Structure 1
Amino acid sequence: MASVKPEEKGIDLSITQDYKLAKDNELRFEVESNARVKLDLLEGSAEVFGTELVRSRSYIFESGAKIAVFTWFGCSVKLSGKVEASYVSKDTPMVIYLNTHAAVEQLRKSAEQDDIRGPRVLVVGAQDVGKTTVCRLLLNYAVRLGRKTTLIDIDVGQGGVSIPGSVGALTVERPADPVDGFDLKVPLVYHFGHTAPNGNIKLYETLISRLADVFNAKCDYNKQVKHSGCIINTCGWVKGQGYQCILHTAQSFEADVVLVLDSERLYNDLKRDLPDFVNVILQPKSPGVVERPREARRDNRENKIKEYFYGPRKIYFPHAFNIKFSEVEIYKIGAPSLPDSCLPLGMEPENTQTKLVQVTPGRDMTHHILSLSMAESLDENLIETNVAGFVVVTNVDPDNQVFSVLSPAPRPLPRKYFLIMDIRFIDINK
């Protein structure tokens, strides 16, 4: 019996399925929990979310992965391992998405000719309509034409550029890996601290404005980035204050194109409220998009955080060390506001959502994630300063005035200011 390659460990190679896909067809499959699946391209050409597959490589997907393999011209593929579901579908909006890419690319060409800023595309819609997938498709198609389009990710619940609870930007210079996604080695990341914008609306809008300012500054000195524009991935909160956040984002980035996925009401509201020069386009969601229960979204957040420390398939070895209370300063963003009844007559309540409150380390800090700010002093605006990375507190010892952390990098710490998140992560790998 042939020996199993190390990367194929955990794949039931006795279970295989061959699929022959006609042109414009899509193979959709979900990996069974606690299983792994291997995908091989045997003949023809195919892509996963806009990234071309190569025949000389096997693609191994982990437990819970939901994958769509699309072909423009026809192909044959082989699946090895346990899948929860797999089927071939002719019902796909890929032609619509490709036409959208072609229209955006025309805007990029015009921007290049006239030396003006390229298109800024805002992708909006409710939860689980495929916003992240559409963003990935458009970015992959752009980079395959040599563009350097920037991904702006403000979906704090799932975290496309860094961990959940943060917002960030990433200039995409090569297609996403079909398994591991985009290369996230040099993202620009800001601390938010919550898994939903309503955790601190004022802070959320402040960070969106900050990202827009930084992106504009980058466009001023890099013409390729300027002409290539950006794709903005939003969260799924589209009503009430969530809708106001969408309008704020469109205004901050001066969006030219707004893609609305699967919501006529949202489409009509945005047509009414956005300036006439903004192209608001209603697009269908893919029938392959599945609605995730709350538990699945929570598990996905946990996996994102775990991957930050341990890497995909646990290929990294994070560091554990102690930090003295006296070596660092820890702050929380946002303080409770005084009730109106406690204010002097005629006084307006102070906005405390972006107020810095120093935190004294205690046992209740255990398992919280801390963002390490790049600020060198408190004279800098801690809130609007990007972060170097994240640690998770594994233990607090008030008697000895130290706390233990799990960190992706060893000592020493490059800075001394931490911002605490509401998000907790229990490291079961330690």
Structure 2
Amino acid sequence: MATLGPDDESFELKQDQELRFEVENAPIEIEVTSGLAEIFGVELVKSKKYLFPIGAKGAVFTWQGCAITMKNARKNMTYVSKDTTPMNYYMNVHIILEKQRDEAENDSKRGPITMIVGPQDVGKSTLCHILLNYAVRMPGLNRKPIFIDLDVGQGEISVPGTIGALVIERPATIEDGFSQLAPIVYNFGHLTPTANMDLYQHCVERLWKSVDERMNKDAKTNASGMIINTCGWIKGDGFKCLLACAKRLRVDNILVLDQERLYQELKRDLPKTTDVVLLHKSGGVVDRTRQYRSEARDKRIKEYFYGSRLKPFNPHSFDVKFGEVQIYKIGAPVLPDSCMPLGVTATDFLTKVVLVQPGPSLLHHLLAMSFATTEQEIIDTNIIGFVCVTNVDMQRQTISVLCLQARPLPCTKLILTDIQYMDSN
């Protein structure tokens, strides 16, 4: 074992203990020297060194006990938790879901569809990761659950402003998370469902139809069910949104994190056939500031175009003539009821596809790419990716775009989003 430096530290964790860390001042390197440990359901390989950059937060948990060395521990926030970890409760949930998957497989039925809800910063995404990793780590069962992310504010499967689904076939990696092979992504184009509730629910319905079709084609995926992450908006219209999503996605189980009132409201308003369970959040969960969330969104978009430290991408930058593409936006200003044409409702305006004339207002916006052939297909069809507008030249009638593939664009129909990114590379 390497000699510890003055800022390094070694930890002996007992059974069911958790080592929490926040990387604030210098990257942390973690190595398990004996025993077994995991981070959010991902098993750590003994004697392998894992590097966590500034801004990273996590918790090393052990079921049986382990020894860990951590470089730069004293330069950052690191401590062994003294409070009771909720991991035993999470394991009990996993065991119940496994029984439901076994029953579904034996009866050739659909597996458990589980939605995780709660306010901001209670660990919803973390619990999703834990349950998905535990499912695919089951030896010899070949579980393939579908992860659905409805949190448009952060965008874990694609960029912020989208909802998506991903078949999980193997555990995540510490460095890059889950494999992003062949996701289904629908463009919403805003950072909160409040921006256009009708469009949001339409996207959820279209996502369900795509996922339902995929599950019907694969018995293992069908029996493995779904794990669904949601936004932290739970009051007023946010609660109505959760109820609508639960109905559209045919949810069987709802796990409520750290919000007893929400638990009681869901128990009251959902069908008795839906199991609603209240769980405690981890004591290591920290509140994230608005600035942190904004920086996290920028980081996620940057990773979309440029990749990660271990898997860098080399995006292309090129000009596109105005006449080579058609740019649309979804949603037109809603008129007062007295001005509405006969038979037209506000929903028709909120999901209306409008052609946009290229101009300086496109600068730094993300544009979703679509293989749609008609305007109706633009809101009904999943997208194939994004480009970022880095320059608009009105004199030359061109826009400069950042794109993952070389010229030309794979499609001619682009959808304007409210998501902006300032490319500094």
Using the size of structure 1 for normalisation, the TM-score is: 0.94
Q: Give the C-alpha shift of residue 401 in structure 1.
A: 0.9
Q: Give the C-alpha shift of residue 342 in structure 1.
A: 3.4
Q: Counterpart in 2 of 1:358?
A: 355
Aligned amino acid, residue 18 of structure 1: S
Q: Counterpart in 1 of 2:96?
A: 103
> Which stretch of the first structure deviates more once superposed, 214-223 or 388-397?
214-223
Distance 2:35 2:47 in 1: 13
Paired residues for 1:121-200 under 5 Å = 121-145=114-138, 146-200=142-196
CA contact (8 A) 1:125 1:261 kept: yes
Q: SS state of the match for residue 289, structure 1?
A: coil
CA contact (8 A) 2:199 2:350 kept: yes
Q: Counterpart in 2 of 1:64?
A: 55
Q: Counterpart in 1 of 2:261?
A: 265
Paired residues for 1:244-259 under 5 Å = 244-259=240-255
- Residues 329 and 251 from structure 1, CA distance in 2 versus in 1: closer, same or farther, beyond 3 angstroms? same
Q: Does 1:116 align with 2:112?
A: no
Q: Counterpart in 2 of 1:319?
A: 316
Distance 1:130 1:23 in 2: 22
Distance 2:32 2:241 in 1: 42
Q: Give the C-alpha shift of residue 80 in structure 1.
A: 1.2
CA contact (8 A) 2:326 2:413 kept: yes
Q: How many pairs align? A: 417
Distance 2:203 2:256 in 1: 23
- Residues 164 and 349 from structure 1, CA distance in 2 versus in 1: closer, same or farther, beyond 3 angstroms? closer
Runs of 5+ unmatched residues, structure 1: 3-11
Distance 1:76 1:241 in 2: 48
Q: SS state of the match for residue 383, structure 1?
A: helix
Q: Counterpart in 2 of 1:238?
A: 234
Q: Counterpart in 2 of 1:6?
A: none
1:40 to 26, 31, 40: 31
| 1:59-92 deviations in Å (ceiling 9; x for gaps) | 1111111011000011111111364310001421
Q: Counterpart in 1 of 2:23?
A: 31
Paired residues for 1:204-353 under 5 Å = 204-313=200-309, 315-343=312-340, 349=346, 351-353=348-350
Q: Give the C-alpha shift of residue 17 in structure 1.
A: 1.2
CA contact (8 A) 2:353 2:376 kept: no
CA contact (8 A) 2:149 2:164 kept: yes
Q: Give the C-alpha shift of residue 348 in structure 1.
A: 5.5
Q: Counterpart in 2 of 1:74?
A: 65
- Residues 99 and 295 from structure 1, CA distance in 2 versus in 1: closer, same or farther, beyond 3 angstroms? same
Give identity over the alignment, percent.
49
| 1:147-169 deviations in Å (ceiling 9; x for gaps) | 10000001000111111000000
Q: SS state of the match for residue 80, structure 2?
A: strand
- Residues 348 and 147 from structure 1, CA distance in 2 versus in 1: closer, same or farther, beyond 3 angstroms? closer
CA contact (8 A) 1:49 1:178 kept: no
Distance 2:268 2:49 in 1: 48
CA contact (8 A) 1:27 1:87 kept: yes
Q: Give the C-alpha shift of residue 201 in structure 1.
A: 0.5
Q: Give the C-alpha shift of residue 200 in structure 1.
A: 0.9
| 1:84-105 deviations in Å (ceiling 9; x for gaps) | 3100014210000000000011
Distance 1:142 1:230 in 2: 11
- Residues 400 and 14 from structure 1, CA distance in 2 versus in 1: closer, same or farther, beyond 3 angstroms? farther
Aligned amino acid, residue 20 of structure 2: R
Distance 1:347 1:255 in 2: 32
Q: Give the C-alpha shift of residue 345 in structure 1.
A: 9.0
Q: Counterpart in 1 of 2:414?
A: 418
Distance 1:174 1:382 in 2: 32
Distance 2:207 2:194 in 1: 19
> Which stretch of the first structure deviates more once superposed, 244-253 or 21-30?
244-253
- Residues 346 and 389 from structure 1, CA distance in 2 versus in 1: closer, same or farther, beyond 3 angstroms? closer
Distance 2:340 2:36 in 1: 68
Aligned amino acid, residue 25 of structure 1: Q
| 1:18-59 deviations in Å (ceiling 9; x for gaps) | 1111110000001115x3221111111000000100024211
Q: Give the C-alpha shift of residue 380 in structure 1.
A: 5.5
Q: Give the C-alpha shift of residue 353 in structure 1.
A: 0.7
> Which stretch of the first structure deviates more once superposed, 229-238 or 174-183?
174-183
| 1:112-143 deviations in Å (ceiling 9; x for gaps) | 11111000001000000000000000000001
Q: Does 1:86 align with 2:86?
A: no
Q: Give the C-alpha shift of residue 341 in structure 1.
A: 4.5
CA contact (8 A) 1:163 1:304 kept: yes
Q: SS state of the match for residue 418, structure 1?
A: strand
Distance 1:343 1:147 in 2: 51
| 1:340-396 deviations in Å (ceiling 9; x for gaps) | 353479986563111011111111111001111132x11651112111111110000
CA contact (8 A) 1:14 1:80 kept: no
Q: Counterpart in 1 of 2:403?
A: 407
Aligned amino acid, residue 60 of structure 1: L
Q: CA RMSD in A?
A: 1.8
CA contact (8 A) 2:185 2:383 kept: yes
Q: SS state of the match for residue 94, structure 2?
A: helix
- Residues 139 and 404 from structure 1, CA distance in 2 versus in 1: closer, same or farther, beyond 3 angstroms? same
